[in-house]
Amino acid sequence: MENLINHILTMEDGIKFLVINQVVYKNKNYYFVARITDDESDITGEYRIVEETKEGEETYLTTVTDAETIHLLAEYLQPKES
């Protein structure tokens, strides 16, 4: 798995997110992301957990909506204080 922390991901609708943390669960990549402004200068305060899916050469990101999965992943994706 490539480290994408601090990288910017763009959803299909053009909304940009900064990767805060990532984890692999059941052989799938999940990212805790923060929405950023169009000019990439600030965080808007919207956060999501997204799942990465690969189909051939294409990579897709979808927002996780299942409450049980969100609860489970949140423990692993919560950024740790240093």
Instruction: Please list the pLDDT of the chain residue by residue as tens digits (82 residues).
Output: 689 999 999 888 889 999 999 999 999 999 999 999 999 999 999 999 999 998 999 988 999 999 999 999 988 777 666 5
- The set of residues, in sequence order, having a beta carbon less than 8 Å from that of 10 and lying 6+ positions away, is 16, 17
Predicted local confidence at residue 17, as pLDDT: 96
Domain boundaries, given as residue ranges, for the chain:
8-70
Predicted local confidence at residue 76, as pLDDT: 78
Predicted local confidence at residue 32, as pLDDT: 94
Predicted local confidence at residue 15, as pLDDT: 93
